[in-house]
Structure 1
Amino acid sequence: MNSAGTITGCLTAALACAFLSAPVAEANPVAAQQLPVSVPSIKQWQPGGDGEFALRDGARIVAGGALREPAALLAEDLTRAGRPVSVTSDAAAAGDIVLEENAAAPAPSESYRITSGDRLTITAHDTAGILHGTQTVLQWLRQRTTLPAGTADDWPDYSERGLMLDTGREFLPVDWVEARIRDAAYLRMNLVQLHLSDVQGFRLESRTHPEITSPQHYSAADLREILDYARSYGVEIIPEIDMPGHMNAILAQHPDLVLRPERTTPLDAVQADLVGGSNGGKIDLTDPAAYRLISDILHEFLPQFPGRYWHIGCDEYVSDYSRYPQLADYAVRTYGPGAAPGDVIIGFANWAADIVESFGKTPRVWNDGFDHPGVLSPKPELVVGYWSASAGGLPWLPGGRTPADFAAAGHPLLNAAFTPTYFTTGGPSAALNAPPELLWAWDPGLFVDGQRLPEAERSLLRGSMLFLWCDDPNALSPEQIVAPVRERLPIMAQQLWSGTGGISYPDFRSRTGAVGWP
């Protein structure tokens, strides 16, 4: 075993012990003899007598108004699964599936109720809950066409449950992206983050700066198709154009804006390998032209995404500021005496956040850019994806701001713990991929530094994602990536919806096999 493999093995064993001993969320899995299984498992099931629902030949999905689209999608999915149904707005009859928005339905956001009797009725107080209910029904009816009488009530533990796709490094075709959106929706997840720019490419079609658009990119029509598809299944797209680091593809056309160290070290090449590219990916934040370019990009693309969020990035910019004295000089000139070089990226994040907020969106960032504070503080509105405890080293080593530090300042948090939420297709970081069993043993409240938020601030933890990174875009083809993602995505969905308590990992693997994929 090589040294990286040795580190990985020891780390996995140590973390497994920690995670297996950590408290896990309680779940109330439905007994196998009562209902078909679902992934993630539903929260509550109350049997309702000796009757049953039977999906008969000629069955219909009854829905009106805004629910006609979810009804049509469910009809397509059931028909494709060999359970042909039609859609109508007529009165429901025995054997029909009914979709109803109802203000008296379970109140938590995304919650839903399924009542099984002579008909099968999905009720929720919002469309998100209806869509989640249709996916549970789809999973059940793919397994069998009869269901016992009773009532299921279901809701998620965490408000953010998602998948991140690194299409900046490896271009992922439109139909492939849509298939992963569909996978996420099938598991009642609600977010897909698209990492759209990095070392190997800028994947959006730019009119204001056409020189930065890579040959492999999403046209405006492609983007609309992806966004419309995601919306139809209740999945929100979070776009990320990573700045002020990881801008290689952009800066290849603007070499005059590259931040250059005044001294180099032998570690530069190692660092370049670990982050997937040369130090040319850092833009010089002391140059006013850098802000003009970034402003152009933000103003062009922010209106093209209808969701609530925009991810600025702010990761892996500078860890050793002594090599960049120009940043220290700029900080003092711009923010006054006492300012530190780390204030430059905090100032940048706040400046970019103002632009994002001017479009009615909430900015998101990675945590490690804020590990060198001075006189400035990041805006508390920034949603922080916490992936690394270290100020420039391995993500498990201490030295940076803790999750509790961010929570104390009012930041909502996404737990993006490098281990075990990351899967990297190739490159040095691939040796650190956690096995699915470790993701199962983990729980979303445990951050990469081994800490949890104080009880008073745990409401700031929104959830987590499975993060797909393509550090080596030639390591795995898009088709080869599907299997490891599908192995891990159901685990993340279970963790975030109802927890893993009361379910063994072998049992869960059996459940994922039973529900299959849409």
Structure 2
Amino acid sequence: MTLALVPAPVSCSESGGPGFRLQEDTRIVGDVDAAARLTALIAARTGVTPCGGEGLLIDLRIQPGGAPESYRIVADAASIVITGADAAGLFYGVHTLGQLVTAEGGHYVIPAVRIEDEPRFGYRGVMLDVARHFLPVETVMGYIDRAAALKFNALHLHLTDDQGWRIHLDSRPKLTELASASAVGGDAGGFFSKADYRAIVDYAASRHMIVVPEVDLPGHTHAVGLAYPDIVEAPVSSPEVLAIVESHGGAAPTAGEPYTGMAVGFSSLRIHDEATYDFVADVVGELAAMTPGPYVHIGGDEALGTSPEDFALFMQRVTQIVADIGKTPITWHEAGAAPGIDPSTVGQYWGFVVPLYGMDENARRFVRNDAGLILSPADAVYLDMKHADDSPLGLTWANGPTSVERAYSWDPAGVIEGVTDEDILGVEAPLWTETIRTLADIDLMAFPRIAAAAEAAWSPAEGELRSWESFRVRVGGLGPLWSGLGIGFHASDEIPWAAR
């Protein structure tokens, strides 16, 4: 029997003996938070809520000493013990146990197994774009729940773009007063208050996730010009940019007017104006003070409205601003072309699985600085790409539609020549929202491909379970659990979905 475990654990052995039968009198003891989470998972999967009594025992323990985020599960017919090396490890062990629940006859059982597990990479992220379409706090929290259950531990929030500014800052109040009301397609905008942002950070922490805020600079800044026009350049209308506008549809951008199209590359801050760096220092400083995690993402992608020389100067100064306030800067890989960036800067590679146009060389600079890379190859883990040509949502620019098999069939250490596991901070699966408006849209686009990204981030590179044929069966077994949790996943015909 193939167990529905995703991401694949380091080791899993079945004893062959009878499993543990779940019933209402099942007792769940130990860590209170973990017990509440496991109770909810069992109820969602089975319809039965363990209420305690004289039944069989599930014991949830934290026992320091193992690798960070690691856990062990020992299950037989008489009892189950989950031991986490820390609270995060226990949390992940509980979610693994939730995946193990299996329908057997008229009952639900957990097979007799021993699992030993720990992550391949320390950074396992999802990115949610709340700039192209604004998404409310409840939707972000719903996505946190979904991602954390698959052992992701970072939520990268893309808070700003040409279409809108989504976070209130006391130091620059005009950003939300004047630049937050628009979105792609003329939809309503919106923004997070500081209390909203704090609620997201706290909710993520309760699921053992950090928040990585991004303000995208120096391009993707048309919205900044609605609030502070003196620090932005006029939209660039070069032949390259006009071709992008035409291919994406919608009108060309106009200075001082909200932008509701999907084109990129036309905006820029004023690189040689000291007021620009005062703005950046205000924004980054206040955002960093609101964010307990170690990272602040400052963009750096698709800056077609900025000359290479000016881009290099800007990224040098801005990465230094971030480093000086005690945070680690993250930039998209284009910033690797800037020779003076702060050496602590982490690069995020969004090129293809087979690199094009020298993107890999830009990415290598971060490795040479010993800062590391986050791998986000667009044609594998951009969750907003269409599933198929006729998908109602999504885009196709990253090598056309992305099947589940293509989302799975890559390895982080195989993308950029010479970059090994030791050079890789982790893996992140972005979800851009040009066509995404609701949590239901997120579910349809992310699942099941988000599970493939989770396995790339967590699981060993090799092993008995690390194959497409194994994965498609394992993820198919999660269909009933996902349905019980209210996740409206895309029922891809690549996957043999379990009925119950």
| Deviation of 1:130 (Å) | 0.4
Quote the residue 1:113 is aligned against.
72
Structure 2 vs 1, CA of residues 347 and 506 (structure 1 numbering), >3 Å: closer, same or farther? closer
Structure 2 vs 1, CA of residues 401 and 348 (structure 1 numbering), >3 Å: closer, same or farther? farther
- Counterpart of 2:366 (choices 386, 401, 406) is 406
Equivalences for residues 110-149 of structure 1 within 5 A: 110-117=69-76, 118-141=78-101, 143=103, 145-149=108-112
User: Does the Cα contact within 8 Å between 1:317 and 1:369 map onto a contact in 2?
Assistant: no
Post-superposition Cα deviations, 1:335-377, rounded to whole Å, max 9, x if no partner, equal xxxxx5453133223323224xx2x432211111332x4xx43
Equivalences for residues 208-219 of structure 1 within 5 A: 208-213=171-176, 214-215=180-181, 216-219=190-193
User: Does the Cα contact within 8 Å between 2:264 and 2:302 map onto a contact in 1?
Assistant: no
**2: distance between equivalents of 1:509 and 1:417?**
21
**1: distance between equivalents of 2:442 and 2:398?**
13
Counterpart residue identity of residue 409, structure 1: N
Counterpart residue identity of residue 122, structure 2: S
The 3-state SS of whatever aligns with 2:161 is coil
Structure 2 vs 1, CA of residues 37 and 479 (structure 1 numbering), >3 Å: closer, same or farther? closer
Quote the residue 1:501 is aligned against.
466
**What percentage of residue pairs aligned between the two structures are identical?**
27
Residues 1:243 and 2:217 aligned together = yes
**1: distance between equivalents of 2:414 and 2:402?**
15
| Deviation of 1:427 (Å) | 6.3
Quote the residue 1:276 is aligned against.
262
Post-superposition Cα deviations, 1:119-167, rounded to whole Å, max 9, x if no partner, equal 2111021111000001011122265632343421112222222211111
Equivalences for residues 446-461 of structure 1 within 5 A: 446-447=414-415, 451-454=416-419, 457-461=420-424
Counterpart residue identity of residue 158, structure 1: F
**2: distance between equivalents of 1:511 and 1:352?**
48
| Deviation of 1:51 (Å) | 5.0
User: Does the Cα contact within 8 Å between 1:380 and 1:409 map onto a contact in 2?
Assistant: yes
Residues 1:266 and 2:212 aligned together = no
Structure 2 vs 1, CA of residues 415 and 73 (structure 1 numbering), >3 Å: closer, same or farther? same
The 3-state SS of whatever aligns with 1:165 is strand
- Counterpart of 1:151 (choices 95, 99, 114) is 114
| Deviation of 1:114 (Å) | 0.6
The 3-state SS of whatever aligns with 2:139 is helix
- Counterpart of 1:480 (choices 437, 441, 457) is 441
**1: distance between equivalents of 2:33 and 2:412?**
33
Quote the residue 1:14 is aligned against.
none
| Deviation of 1:407 (Å) | 1.2
Structure 2 vs 1, CA of residues 50 and 493 (structure 1 numbering), >3 Å: closer, same or farther? same
Quote the residue 1:321 is aligned against.
307
Counterpart residue identity of residue 73, structure 1: R
What is the TM-score normalised by the length of structure 1?
Answer: 0.77
Counterpart residue identity of residue 133, structure 1: G
- Counterpart of 1:83 (choices 48, 69, 77) is 48
| Deviation of 1:412 (Å) | 0.8
| Deviation of 1:506 (Å) | 4.2
Structure 2 vs 1, CA of residues 255 and 272 (structure 1 numbering), >3 Å: closer, same or farther? farther
Counterpart residue identity of residue 242, structure 2: A
Gaps of 5+ in 2: 182-189, 249-260, 386-392, 486-500
The number of equivalent residue pairs is 442
Equivalences for residues 343-382 of structure 1 within 5 A: 343-355=312-324, 358=325, 360-371=326-337, 373=338, 376-382=339-345
Quote the residue 1:44 is aligned against.
11
Residues 1:304 and 2:290 aligned together = yes
Structure 2 vs 1, CA of residues 83 and 303 (structure 1 numbering), >3 Å: closer, same or farther? farther
Whose helix proportion is higher, 1 or 2? Answer: 1
Quote the residue 1:187 is aligned against.
150
Counterpart residue identity of residue 103, structure 1: P
Post-superposition Cα deviations, 1:171-225, rounded to whole Å, max 9, x if no partner, equal 1122221121111112122122110111111111222222111141122332232
- Counterpart of 1:513 (choices 472, 479, 493) is 479
**2: distance between equivalents of 1:492 and 1:70?**
25
Quote the residue 1:26 is aligned against.
none
| Deviation of 1:452 (Å) | 2.9
The 3-state SS of whatever aligns with 1:344 is helix
